[in-house]
Amino acid sequence: MRTGIVVEVSPADQVRLQAVVTVRNSPQKHVWRAQIVLLTAKGHGTAEIMRRTGKAKTAVWRWQERFMQAGMDGLLRDKTRPSRIPSLGSDVADRVVALTLSTPPGEVTHWTGRAMAKAAQISLSATQRIWRTHGLQPHRIRQFKLSNDPHFAAKLRDVVGLYVDPPAHAVVLSVDEKSQIQALDRTQPGLPLKKGRCGTMSHDYIRNGTTTLFAALNVLEGRVIGRCMQHHRHQEFIRFLNAVEAEIPAGKQVHAIMDNYGTHKHPKVIAWLERHPRWIFHFTPTSASWLNAVEGFFAKLAKQRLKRGVFHSLVSLQAAINRFVADNNADPRPFHWTKEPEKIISAVRRGHQVLDSIH
């Protein structure tokens, strides 16, 4: 042992060191470090410790000193070492951020990681690290559409008022159509889901026709009245209104929320409305069909039934849609609106302000 090296092991440390050596799940680097300390405490010299542990002299000396300075915890923790690659300065990160927020060169629409790495003369991993630190994702884009309806606020409050505080002795319906639903039959059968493999579906298909689903969501009950029809015209819409009229109990007022599609405002539809005085139409603002509650049902239908569906005929598609509507009505859930109208109006105003400042 070197002169001046005194390793004192307390009974508690002795127990911990022995546990590290004897436990089979201990990392090997922790095992031989503990052996060096235990052998040193027993009075063995450096040469003997080297022979028993198979480690070099410098390693023995290093862990003897580490235990003397940091105790047992020092053996189980590696010191951090500086990277062999020098860190990038803040000016490099600022330059990458500035380039990312600018238009990329050439006939491309957005920056890629490799293009940015080449332009900034840094590695791809460094580029990705800078983007991740600053919350930049040039490969992603979100779509939006701001309503230009001059009566946006009034129509919004009208519709949301029906959701939040519906009139007494009245039925609130969210009415819309999901048009051009395709009966797609895949050219080859897909493989089922299994452990370690997702389900498969061929990208090409055979189209066996299209149908239009007319739907009316009862906001208070969550039930859906649906009809599949061949066309998407005012004639079919009037037939659907007659079907809904027949299912609603007499004596109840009907508030129908719908978008500004031309079919909903056809002169014959307006004439039908005059013949049925208990019906009141409420139109959402232009470019704000997201305000229509039945859109959530359409999204659920598309995601859970239509997107992966295989339909050999138009009849099978319509039967599947009808079964989905029946399943929904078997366990209906009322629609609950939670967003405050003033927050939506403020957000739309901010969006218009940003667009006006850009243009």
- β-strands 224-229, 253-258 pairing: unpaired
Tokens at 135, concatenated = 């919350």
Q: What is the arithmetic mean of pLDDT over 146-159?
A: 90
Q: Is the pLDDT of residue 359 over 80?
A: no
The stretch 258-278 carries a mean pLDDT of 93
Candidates 229, 221, 225; CA nearest to 247 is 225
* Locus of tokens 């009505």: 329
Please, what is the Cα angle at 265 between 275 and 252, to 5 degrees? 40
Per-residue pLDDT tens for 36-75? 888 988 888 889 889 988 999 998 998 888 888 888 888 8
Lowest-pLDDT choice from 86-90, 93-97, 156-160? 86-90
Residue 82 in this model has a pLDDT that exceeds 80: no
Provide the pLDDT for residue 159.
Answer: 92
Q: Which of 306, 297, 301, 180 is nearest to 231 (CA)?
A: 180
Instruction: Note the helical H segments in the chain.
Output: 11-22, 28-41, 46-53, 57-75, 90-100, 113-120, 124-133, 152-164, 234-247, 267-275, 294-301, 314-330, 341-358
Q: What is the pLDDT of residue 90?
A: 86
Using one digit for the tens of pLDDT, what is the confidence trace for 11-37? 888 888 888 889 888 899 899 988 988
Give yes or no for a contact between 280 and 192, defined as CB atoms under 8 angstroms apart: no
For residue 151, give every residue at least 6 positions away whose Cβ sits within 8 Å of its Cβ, in sequence order, or none.
285
Query: CA 260 from chain center: how many Å?
Result: 30
Are residues 323 and 317 in contact, defined by beta-carbon separation less than 8 angstroms? Answer: no
Which residues are registered as beta bridge partners of 215?
176, 226
Over residues 314-323, the mean pLDDT reads 95
How many whole angstroms separate alpha carbon 322 and alpha carbon 155? 32
Q: Tally Cβ neighbours within 10 Å of residue 195.
A: 4
The 10s digit of each residue's pLDDT in 185-217 is 999 988 889 998 899 999 999 999 999 999 999
Nearest to 166 by CA among 254, 41, 269, 285: 254
Task: Give tens-digit pLDDT for 279-297.
Answer: 999 999 998 889 999 999 9
Average pLDDT of every residue of the chain:
90
Structure tokens at 151: 């009566």
Q: Return the C-alpha torsion angle 67, 73, 78, 79, nearest 10.
A: -70
SS3 state of residue 213:
strand
Residue 110 tokens read as 């957005």
Q: Mean per-residue pLDDT for 89-110?
A: 92
> What φ, ψ does residue 60 adopt, rounded to 5°?
-60, -50
Give the per-residue pLDDT at 358: 79
The one-character DSSP state at 309 is -
Q: Which residues sit opposite 218 in a β-bridge?
A: 173
Which pair of structure tokens corresponds to residue 75?
């053996």
Report the SS3 class of residue 51: helix
Distance CA 351, CA 329 (A): 38
Residue 5: pLDDT band (50, 70, 90) is low
Helices 113-120 and 90-100 cross at an angle (nearest 10°) of: 130
Distance CA 345, CA 158 (A): 13
For residue 170, give the nearest of 218, 117, 134, 101 by alpha carbon. 218
Residue with tokens 């559409």: 145
